[in-house]
Amino acid sequence: MFTKLSMTKKVFILAPYPKGEAPSQRFRFEQYIDELHDQDLSIEIHPFLSKKTWQLLYKKGSFFGKALGILGSFWRRFLLLFRLINADYIFIHREASMIGPPIFEWIIAKLLRKKYIFDFDDAIWLPNYSETNAKFHRLKAYWKTKWIIKWADKVIAGNEYLMDFAKNYNQNVQIIPTTIDLIKVHNRRTDYSVPSLNIGWTGTHTTMHYLDEIVPVLQALEKDYSFSFTVISNHPPSFELKSLRFVKWNKETEINDLAKFSIGIMPLIDNEWAQGKCGFKGLQYMALGIPAILSPVGVNTSIINSGVNGFLCSTAAEWKTQLIALFESQELRKNIGQAGYETILTKYSVKANLPHYQNLFRS
């Protein structure tokens, strides 16, 4: 039980994207906003990108429209600096501006002499970009992450790998995992008794290449088993499978679409970028009681106790073996799925992690 603060404190959150649009924000801090308002905190979210620019950014072409939108974003950030003088807390998610050096962070820390909390959930110091935005890639200044960390008063990392990187530049680092709201959002459960099984994967087209190692496994299983393989994404996959079913990602139907999975998969390639990921796909599956199979990469090995609350598979043979085991046993699917749900409830839910966010604004 927390004692309410005696007076309202002003919290300014600087984030890259408009509210409600990006999973990184939705499942890092946005789902805590209502609860934090109840703690006598006045919270304002200030995205770098306007909604219009955000919608343009991941479309091909429109170079000048994107450039004008980015210029407008910098102007809004500049004007915001005058209001930050009166901030009690400043919370920066990933970066104050999506391109260029850490000018705003430097002004906040060095000129305004304001302390800020820095939150990140990916290996954002590594180059990672889509083909549609390759022209902006050179403007990203990936090197700035270490400076943003160094100037921060507190650093919030999404997993241990990110924390270890941050501690090279700042010792005041803690882990708050990416979390799931089991009450307002992920409040459905999969049906273990459906006669036709549905393997599922969700993600953007930029991460769909992780499925390349799984496609041959599914092709082999199609010869002996009847199942669907559902891909939920913003673009359809290019590979061919008889079992393939594409569902276009839609925020309004996302949870209902995910809850139709009988088995959720999250293959990864073990590299630096993957080491920094926070296991969000796996967490989503587990929150809905879906038995999950993940690659043993990065934080996945902390989330999954293989054979207890999910499975970790490295080779094609292991993937095939575990998929067959889940195909052939409803009891196994149910036991693994329910154990996964309990893991989310106790370690990765909003309820379990709310005290960590409350404590950020108590000193």
Greater model confidence, 15 or 99: 15
Q: How large is the angle between the packed helices 330-343 and 316-328, nearest 10 degrees? A: 110
> How much is the pTM?
0.89
| Residue 84 pLDDT > 60 | yes
Q: DSSP label at 211?
A: G
| Residue 275 pLDDT > 60 | yes
Q: What is the mean pLDDT of the chain?
A: 91
| Residue 3 pLDDT > 50 | no
- B/e letters for 92-106, b = 16+ CB within 10 Å, e = fewer, are bbbbbbbbeebebbb
Number of neighbouring beta carbons within 10 Å of residue 195: 5
What is the edge-to-edge ordering of all strands in the sheet holding 41-47? 41-47, 9-15, 89-93, 116-120, 154-157, 173-175
Q: What is the pLDDT of residue 178?
A: 93
Please report, for residues 54, 57, 66, 100, 154, the alpha-carbon distance to residue 62 in angstroms, rounded to integers and kept in the order given: 12, 8, 6, 20, 38
State the amino acid at position 236 in one-letter form. Answer: P
Could you tell me which CATH class the domain 197-348 is placed in?
alpha beta
Q: What is the pLDDT of residue 81?
A: 97
**154 CB-side CA count, 13 A:** 15
Lowest model confidence (mean pLDDT) among 7-16, 53-62, 210-219, 221-230 = 53-62
Q: What is the pLDDT of residue 4?
A: 46
Q: CA–CA separation, 174 vs 355, rounded Å?
A: 13
Q: What is the pLDDT of residue 273?
A: 84
pLDDT in tens, 53-62: 888 876 777 7
Residue by residue, DSSP assigns 332-359 as: HHHHHHHHHHHHIIIIIBHHHHHHHHHH
Q: What is the pLDDT of residue 7?
A: 77
Mean pLDDT in residue range 198-219? 93
State the amino acid at position 119 in one-letter form. Answer: D
Comparing 9-176 with 197-348, is the CATH topology the same?
yes
Q: What is the pLDDT of residue 53?
A: 87
State the amino acid at position 90 in one-letter form. Answer: I
pLDDT in tens, 12-52: 999 999 998 888 899 999 999 988 887 788 999 999 999 98
Greater model confidence, 240 or 301: 301
Q: Check if the beta carbon of residue 197 is closer than 8 Å to that of residue 228.
A: yes
Domain boundaries, the chain: 9-176, 197-348
Topology of the domain comprising 9-176: Rossmann fold (3.40.50)
Question: Which two structure tokens, joined as six digits, stand for 281?
Answer: 């796909």
Q: What is the pLDDT of residue 2?
A: 42
Please report, for residues 196, 350, 352, the alpha-carbon distance to residue 36 in angstroms, rounded to integers and kept in the order given: 43, 12, 14
Q: Check if the beta carbon of residue 260 is closer than 8 Å to that of residue 234.
A: no
Mean pLDDT in residue range 167-188? 95
Q: How large is the angle between the packed helices 280-287 and 330-343, nearest 10 degrees? A: 110
Q: CA–CA separation, 45 vs 228, rounded Å?
A: 40
pLDDT in tens, 290-318: 999 999 999 999 999 999 999 999 999 99
Mean pLDDT in residue range 342-358? 95
Residue 110, Cβ density class (10 Å: 0-12 exposed, 13-18 middle, ≥19 buried):
exposed
% the chain with pLDDT above 70: 94
What is the edge-to-edge ordering of all strands in the sheet holding 244-248? 244-248, 227-233, 197-202, 263-266, 292-294, 311-312
